[in-house]
Amino acid sequence: MSQPKKLYSLNSVESILNELEDLPEIKISIDDALEKMRPTINVALKKGYSLEVIASIINKHGIKCSDKMLKSYLHNSAIKGKSSASETSLSDLPDTLSSSASQPEKTPIEKHPEAK
């Protein structure tokens, strides 16, 4: 025999909903935001999108970021050992940044000879 489901007061549920709705939005730094986005940024780079296009998308959502900031962040995270072998290394970044706002670059990104 299955036990009857426990019932909860509608007032309790409404109180929980009100408390959850009143929680302040959690804010994070640009470094933390880029760290959370890094795997997806690397996927976009591997698809051929430029840092300029990626920065434009990030800016569109209210996070101030430039292509130079992204390149610096990716470089610094690679130096700190945060990049794994499956992620894009600094040598995978394009030397020139495309000005196209939504199209991937047509030329493949060449890897640096020392890249593994």
Query: What average pLDDT does range 37-60 have in this prediction?
Result: 96
CA-nearest of 114, 115, 95, 113 to 105 is 95
Domain coordinates in residue numbering, the chain:
30-86
pTM: 0.55
pLDDT at 69: 95
- Selected residue with higher pLDDT from 77 and 13: 13
Q: How many whole angstroms separate alpha carbon 32 and alpha carbon 113?
A: 31
pLDDT at 2: 80
